[in-house]
């Protein structure tokens, strides 16, 4: 075969590939009717909120670009970590939402607003948190836009994870941890007027001393109130 014929064959082959690609994209860009819209999520976001934000509804004829825009809109929500769309054979469009999990409630001081944050310290909600069973971390925390970048707050989250693993009863009893501006912290216990002064960082041995001290105070009937100081070598209780 001559060089000219080879070039013609190659050119014809390239045209066939381009035509096939064009046909593929045209077919995939055809609008599809949403016969049913199914929404599943891992947390707090409701079906109504997904429909409102995505601006999709049953009976709509949508193209891939419409679904991509809906995905981007949903992932702009603070709670949404990932949004996925999948067509089913029946013509239903399934929307799967993976949400960020709330890790703590944060109250910057001075001030009074309470923020719900995930494990990366990203703000999920303000003033009306949905995870009311979480600890409240108070302190002179700095926030930039929708994220707290405070290293002391990050250390507190690490402490809380360790308490949940090693002393789950403490994790349930501590209602607030307040960091002081000059260093150190105060722990408040739920259901008791007991204030615990501790050094910073709060280490595993401090958690063990707190657990042992609370067990002793309960056995002596002295758990109703007072001050427990863990800052020295020995734990000191004052009614």
8-state DSSP, 14: H
25 lies in some domain: no
22 lies in some domain: no
Q: Of all helices (H) and strands (E), which one includes residue 33?
A: strand 32-33
15 lies in some domain: no
5 lies in some domain: no
For 145, the domain range is: 102-238
Q: Which of 142, 87, 152, 134 is nearest to 109 (CA)?
A: 142
Q: Which residue has the higher pLDDT, 41 or 218?
A: 41
Average pLDDT, the chain: 83
> Distance between CA 225 and CA 220 in Å, rounded?
12
* Burial class (CB within 10 angstroms; exposed 0-12, middle 13-18, buried 19+) of 25: exposed
Q: Are residues 78 and 150 in the same domain?
A: no
Q: Which of 198, 201, 190 is nearest to 227 (CA)?
A: 198
Q: What is the pLDDT of residue 69?
A: 96
138 lies in some domain: yes
**At which of 65, 82, 99 does a domain end?**
99
Q: Are residues 122 and 219 in the same domain?
A: yes
198 lies in some domain: yes
pLDDT band at 25 (very low <50, low <70, confident <90, very high): very low
Q: Are residues 127 and 218 in the same domain?
A: yes
Q: What is the pLDDT of residue 26?
A: 40
Q: Are residues 95 and 190 in the same domain?
A: no
CATH number of the domain that residue 222 is part of: 3.40.50.10960
> Distance between CA 15 and CA 39 in Å, rounded?
42
CATH number of the domain that residue 84 is part of: 3.10.20.310
Q: Are residues 80 and 118 in the same domain?
A: no
* 121, 98 contact by CB (below 8 A): no
Q: Taking the CB of residue 109, how many other CB atoms lie within 10 A of it?
A: 13
**At which of 99, 114, 137 does a domain end?**
99
Please tell me the total count of domains within the chain: 2
Q: Are residues 72 and 175 in the same domain?
A: no
Q: Which residue has the higher pLDDT, 47 or 221?
A: 47
Q: Are residues 199 and 116 in the same domain?
A: yes
156-211: pLDDT as tens digits: 888 888 888 888 888 788 889 999 988 899 999 877 778 899 988 888 888 888 88
Q: Which of 146, 84, 140, 93 is nearest to 120 (CA)?
A: 146
Q: Are residues 141 and 122 in the same domain?
A: yes
Question: Is residue 94's pLDDT more than 90?
Answer: yes
CA distances from 212 to 15, 151, 167, 217 (A): 79, 28, 11, 9
Q: Which of 98, 96, 136, 140 is nearest to 117 (CA)?
A: 136
Q: Are residues 126 and 90 in the same domain?
A: no
Q: Are residues 112 and 169 in the same domain?
A: yes
Q: Are residues 202 and 180 in the same domain?
A: yes
Determine the 3-state secondary structure of 188 from DSSP. strand
Rg (alpha carbons) of the chain, rounded to whole number = 28
Q: Model-level pTM? A: 0.73
Q: Are residues 222 and 119 in the same domain?
A: yes
């Amino acid at each position: 075969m001559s060089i000219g014929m080879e070039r013609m064959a190659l050119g014809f082959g390239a045209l066939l590939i381009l035509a096939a690609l064009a046909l593929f994209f045209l077919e995939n860009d055809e609008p599809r009717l949403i016969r049913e819209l199914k929404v599943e999520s891992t947390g707090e976001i409701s079906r109504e909120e997904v429909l409102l934000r995505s601006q999709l509804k049953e009976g709509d004829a949508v193209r891939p670009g419409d679904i991509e825009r809906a995905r981007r809109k949903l992932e702009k929500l603070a709670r949404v970590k990932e949004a996925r769309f999948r067509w089913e054979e029946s013509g239903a469009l399934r929307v799967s939402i993976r949400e960020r999990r709330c890790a703590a409630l944060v109250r910057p001081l001075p001030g009074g607003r309470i923020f719900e944050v995930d494990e990366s310290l990203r703000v999920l909600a303000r003033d009306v948190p949905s995870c009311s069973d979480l600890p409240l971390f108070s302190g002179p925390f700095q926030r930039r836009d929708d994220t707290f970048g405070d290293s002391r707050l990050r250390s507190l989250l690490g402490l809380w994870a360790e308490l949940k693993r090693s002393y789950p009863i403490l994790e349930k009893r501590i209602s607030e941890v307040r960091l002081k501006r000059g260093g150190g912290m105060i722990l408040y216990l739920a259901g008791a007027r007991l204030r615990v002064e501790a050094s910073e960082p709060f280490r595993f041995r401090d958690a063990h001393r707190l657990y042992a001290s609370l067990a002793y105070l309960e056995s002596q009937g002295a758990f109703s109130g007072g001050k427990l100081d863990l800052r020295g070598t020995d734990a000191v209780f004052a009614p």
